[in-house]
């Protein structure tokens, strides 16, 4: 009986040794077992700016592609005609500025666009509109390389 017990003990020791030898090449089971990217800090994708959607056709478009055009008289005339048709019209002065490299350069573009929008608003008031009829907006447009002002009537 002692021999049989000794054989069983040696057999189980051999089995355990083989089992441990087989497990030596295994790694621990953790999140990376099922997801190799687990534990790696995610890198957010760089946002892609889409071009602005087309809106209603503007009453006036001032394009600064070739420098500052003489737009004062043309804007005043167009606004007088619009006010003659509808004295309670709301005018939206939308200045589109290009998207530039650094945040500081973008802020400078936005400030310049706001100044241009205020100049156009002064022309609209000079044409007879009430200041409460004017809305000013400045937006960055990735499709633009120069400033553009759109005056819309609502």
Task: Answer whether residue 13 is part of any domain.
Answer: no
Q: What is the CATH number of the domain that holds 69?
A: 3.30.1330.60
Parent domain of 79: 60-153
pTM assigned to the model: 0.64
Mean pLDDT of 85-95: 93
Residue 5 belongs to some domain of the structure: no
CA distances to 54, 99, 107, 108 from 103, rounded to whole Å, are 26, 9, 6, 9
Structural domain contains residue 102? yes
Mean pLDDT of 116-140: 94
Q: Residue 40 domain-assigned?
A: no
Of 88, 98, 76, 99, whose CA–CA distance to 151 is shortest?
Answer: 76
Question: In this predicted structure, what is the pLDDT of residue 67?
Answer: 85
d(CA 50, CA 154): 25
**pLDDT tens per residue across span 134-150:** 999 999 988 888 999 99
Tell me the mean pLDDT in the region 2-7: 70
Number of domains observed in the structure of the chain:
1
Across 41-55, 60-74, 112-126, least confident range: 41-55
Q: Is residue 83 in some structural domain?
A: yes
20 pLDDT above the threshold of 80: no
């Amino acid at each position: 009986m002692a021999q049989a017990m000794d054989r069983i003990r040696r057999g189980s020791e051999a089995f355990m040794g083989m089992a441990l030898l087989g497990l030596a090449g295994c790694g621990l089971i953790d999140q990376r077992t099922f997801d190799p990217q687990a534990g790696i800090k995610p890198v957010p994708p760089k946002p892609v700016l889409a071009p602005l959607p087309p809106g209603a056709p503007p009453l006036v478009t001032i394009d600064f592609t070739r420098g500052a055009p003489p737009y004062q008289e043309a804007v005043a005339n167009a606004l007088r005609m619009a006010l003659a048709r509808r004295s309670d019209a709301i005018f939206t002065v939308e200045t589109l500025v290009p998207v530039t490299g650094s945040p500081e350069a973008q802020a400078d573009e936005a400030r310049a666009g706001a100044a241009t929008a205020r100049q156009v608003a002064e022309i609209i008031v000079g044409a007879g509109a009430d200041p409460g009829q004017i809305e000013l907006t400045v937006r960055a447009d990735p499709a633009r390389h120069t400033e553009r002002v759109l005056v819309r009537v609502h």
